[in-house]
Chains A and B, each alone.
Chain A
Amino acid sequence: MAFRIWETIGRDLLRDTAAYSVGIAVAGAAFAAIATAQGLPWWITWAMSLFVYAGTAQFAALGVAAAGGSGLAVVATGLILNLRHIPYGLAVGHLYWDRWWTRILGTQNLLDTTTAFALAEGDDQRRAKIAYWTTGTGNAVAWVVGNFAGMFIGGWIAEPERLGLDAALPAIILALVIPSLKDRRTLLAAATGAVIALAASPFLPPGMPVLLALVGLVFARPKRGREEAAT
């Protein structure tokens, strides 16, 4: 039985999930270490990691709280950062929309990376589903293990920059979107969007520029004439 599960997932995806999970575990350890160093009680750190379950927003919330921001500022910063999950859910939401419990677990597991892993499978819906759940499971386990470890190792792991680990997650997402960028219209839309997001970054709160990037989608529309001729 176990063997058949590995067989279904496939070696490449397992290897990729493992590589990605290591990065997530270190990020989780860094989060817990920083939270602990800030004097946050262990159970609040855990509640955040389990129920918010969004790394970027959690780090941002710690940053705002450390800077003396109000509770309202913490919530607003985190929620604006998380708005990008709406386009993610629109793109991959059907992959886990089966039973009530897959809907809940799938919704909680909607992340930059699970979305990117699912999209990297292209039009193969079965593979996309497997990728979503495999990487989602890897992420959940690694995040919890990392958080647990981070509370005890403290100190040095709070600066993962020294190991260059801040380059790991962007590199993973970049690697996963590259296959989609081979489509010329998507490439044009994404490149335009990235330029828009960069230009808007100095003026908007973090989280908004990447949504503004969606303006780039004007280039993603298939040519009407050809589309209608095809249908």
Chain B
Amino acid sequence: MTMVAAIIALAVGTFLIRLSGPLLRGRLTLSARTEAILKAGATVVLLALTVTSTLIVDGGFAGWALPAGVLVGGVLAWRRLPLAVVVVAAAATTALLRLAGIA
């Protein structure tokens, strides 16, 4: 029962969090400059999310295989390869390194 209540609270809370962005947006005067900063803000969070989730797993260093795979994906994306190639290369690099015994 606690789990059900927890999930309802989590669902409602998450929806309200998602809702707050556009509602706050409506109260801002959006010059081109604010618009650029808001976009940069989301980019900053997304890169920080990528970097932290790649390097830290369960509170400790994630090991070399994961960051190596993501880095390979990043380089291929930089070279403008399609996303499918990026994904497969990243996953394959990580999987092969792990298979070779590199965590």
Q: Which residues of A contact B (CB under 8 A)?
A: 12, 15-16, 18-20, 22-23, 40, 44, 47-48, 51-54, 57, 61, 65, 70-72, 74-75, 78-79, 82-94, 96-97, 103, 107-108, 110, 112, 115-116, 119, 161-168, 170-178, 180-181, 183, 185-186, 189-191, 193-194, 196-198, 201-202, 209-211, 213-214, 216-217, 220-222, 227
Contacts and interface: CB of A to CB of B under 8 A. Distances in A.
Nearest to B12: A51
Interface residues of B, number: 72
B74 A171 contact: yes
B83 A172 contact: yes
Contacts of B90: 164, 167-168, 170-171
A91 B14 contact: no
B22 interface: yes
Contact of A16 (B14, B50, B57, B82): B82
B101 interface: no
Contacts of A61: 6-7, 10
A91 B52 contact: no
A74 B10 contact: yes
Nearest to A209: B52
Nearest to B47: A190
B18 A90 contact: no
Contacts of B73: 167, 170-172, 174-175
Interface in B69-93: 69-70, 72-74, 76-78, 82-84, 86-93
Contacts of B48: 190, 193-194, 196-197, 209-210, 213
A58 to B, nearest CB: 9
Contact of B74 (A18, A20, A178): A178
A41 B82 CA distance: 39
